[in-house]
Structure 1
Amino acid sequence: MTGTDTFQLSLQTARTYEAAFVPSLFADLARQLVDLADVTAGDDVLDVACGTGIVARTAAERTGPTGRVVGLDLNEAMLTVAREVRPDLEWRQGDAAALPFPDGSFDVALCQSGLMFVPDPAAAVAELARVVRPDGRVAVQVWSSLDRQVAFRALADAVARHAGRDAVDLISTYFRLGDQERLTGHVTRAGLRVTGVRTLPATVHAPSIDDYVTTEVESTPLRDRISDDVYRRIREEARTGLARWTDAGGRLALPLEAYVVAARRG
């Protein structure tokens, strides 16, 4: 997450994100992203919009002691949690659209579920291309568009009904770069050669629908902008709309769709 003005999250929200979303969703996607980027021992790797650092941590398992892994995010709360989890890695505050590194500093540049929070995604992709060495690898994971997220739409509809269409933007920003052609266009215009585009099924697991709604709402600024009554009504409608993805014990397995664009410089 890049932490634009809309998403300058609190430390508590960052800790909720790490505790709830990372193990239930982002850890597996991080592994797939690192695999597709072919991160190997000795690589110098940059994780842009690193959030609490799951991609950087996953990459560090591959690079070993001879490599270097740097995580960069604009949001200081996210970086605080990243440092708590892995104080041995290098964490930097910075803007994805103006990376504070010289040209050709890394073998691999990665961005997981963060590009959609950058005001100028094309500039951020160009920066990813700039900081990798000749024949360096770039891999970016984003979410497919909201119209392809059949399960998530049940929550979005509840938010729209009770908090207004503008409120939906706060929880659906994730899906704003869901056009594969648009993203691959950014990649090629940055001077990168696309080597693969892969659609990835993903699943958010939660102990209950209420737990999921809490995590989804309270890891964005939405909670601070709605009343307790509106929050209660969103929960009630979500229980009905998301019930089809629960098991007999009430545990939620919510399907999502993501995709990754992998590329090389030169």
Structure 2
Amino acid sequence: MPAAYERYLVPVVFRPFAEDLTARAAAFRPRRVLELAAGTGVLTSELLAMAPPPAEVTATDLNGAMVALGAARAPGAVWRQADAQRLPFPDEAFDLVVCQFGVMFFPDRVAAFGEVRRVLAPGGRFLFNTWGPIEEHAFEVALQAGLERAFPDDPPRFFPTVPHGYADPAAAVADLTAAGFVVEEEQALTLEGRAESIADLVTGYLTGTPVRAAVEERGGGPTVRETVLAEMTARLGPGPVTASMGAYVFRATA
């Protein structure tokens, strides 16, 4: 799953936002950076390349397979398998904590945010993004329509409920405040993704995300891919296609 995620989804869906988040991070000239939910390292690679470079980037993820692939792709970082709700780092160890599209997966966000605040030095920043409503992500609107066509009685609901399930910025601000942060900025952001092939994007979504398990649980086979591909192609074209993706960016101070 990590390899399919990296090959088919990262360039289209995640790299544009990694570049944006890195530009924001560079403005603080951090020396010690911690990344949460680093995945296969798309943001990690951008952080390592930013100018001026931080003295050290520590990248973490709960998934060991993601850590292994990320460490191979971005060996300049220190990689650790870690739970964001129980970070294995001392107090005040970092100047900046960043997280790209990961906080939606934390079971207890206030607890995770509290851990982030604990490992930040006084005045350190927490910088992260979340997806907006699924209706603002053209690729995933088309994907979900394809899944609903393939499984009309019980479509997988992973994308509306998890990646796009923390799409109320007021909820994120409330959770940050409850964890003791001062929220400095909350910004809606829309960027474009460019897919050379909708067929490749379908492969990425169906084999490189938890939708893979949901399809398998429903007994899905090759016909599911054909149905999803037909729906996404009807809505977006076969590719190359450029589509908008909506998100929110938050910056908070410890």
TM norm structure 1: 0.85
Change (3 A) 1:158 1:118: same
Report what 1:238 is aligned to.
232
Report what 2:61 is aligned to.
73
Q: In 2, distance between residues paired with 1:46 and 1:158? A: 37
Report what 1:211 is aligned to.
200
CA-based RMSD of the aligned residues comes to: 2.1
Give the letter for the 1:230 counterpart.
V
Report what 2:45 is aligned to.
57
Change (3 A) 1:149 1:31: closer
Q: In 2, distance between residues paired with 1:138 and 1:86? A: 22
Q: In 2, distance between residues paired with 1:34 and 1:230? A: 37
What residue ranges of structure 1 are gaps of 5+ in the alignment? 1-12
Matched, 1:169 2:157: yes
Report what 2:148 is aligned to.
160
The 8 Å contact of residues 154 and 241 in structure 1, kept in 2 or not, is answered as yes
Q: In 2, distance between residues paired with 1:166 and 1:120? A: 27
The 8 Å contact of residues 187 and 248 in structure 2, kept in 1 or not, is answered as yes
Matches within 5 A, 1:40-119: 40-41=28-29, 43-62=31-50, 67-119=55-107
The 8 Å contact of residues 39 and 108 in structure 1, kept in 2 or not, is answered as no
Give the SS at the match of 1:152.
Answer: helix
Change (3 A) 1:220 1:209: same
What residue ranges of structure 2 are gaps of 5+ in the alignment? none
Give the SS at the match of 2:50.
Answer: helix
Give the C-alpha shift of residue 140 in structure 1.
1.2
The 8 Å contact of residues 87 and 115 in structure 2, kept in 1 or not, is answered as yes
Deviations 1:69-111 (A, max 9, x none): 1000011111111111122320000111111111211000011
Q: In 2, distance between residues paired with 1:40 and 1:58? A: 15
Q: In 2, distance between residues paired with 1:151 and 1:59? A: 26
Report what 1:228 is aligned to.
222
Change (3 A) 1:171 1:80: same
Report what 1:254 is aligned to.
243
Give the C-alpha shift of residue 258 in structure 1.
0.8
Give the SS at the match of 2:158.
Answer: helix
Q: In 2, distance between residues paired with 1:131 and 1:228? A: 46
Give the letter for the 2:167 counterpart.
G
What percent identity do the matched residue pairs reach? 31
The 8 Å contact of residues 45 and 69 in structure 1, kept in 2 or not, is answered as yes
Change (3 A) 1:209 1:253: same
Q: In 2, distance between residues paired with 1:140 and 1:19? A: 23
From 16, 22, 47, the counterpart of 1:34: 22
Report what 2:119 is aligned to.
131
Report what 1:190 is aligned to.
179
Displaced runs of 4 or more, over 6 A: none
Give the C-alpha shift of residue 215 in structure 1.
1.2
The 8 Å contact of residues 100 and 128 in structure 2, kept in 1 or not, is answered as yes
The 8 Å contact of residues 40 and 63 in structure 1, kept in 2 or not, is answered as no
Q: In 2, distance between residues paired with 1:183 and 1:128? A: 14
Deviations 1:200-239 (A, max 9, x none): 2122222222221111121113334122222222222222
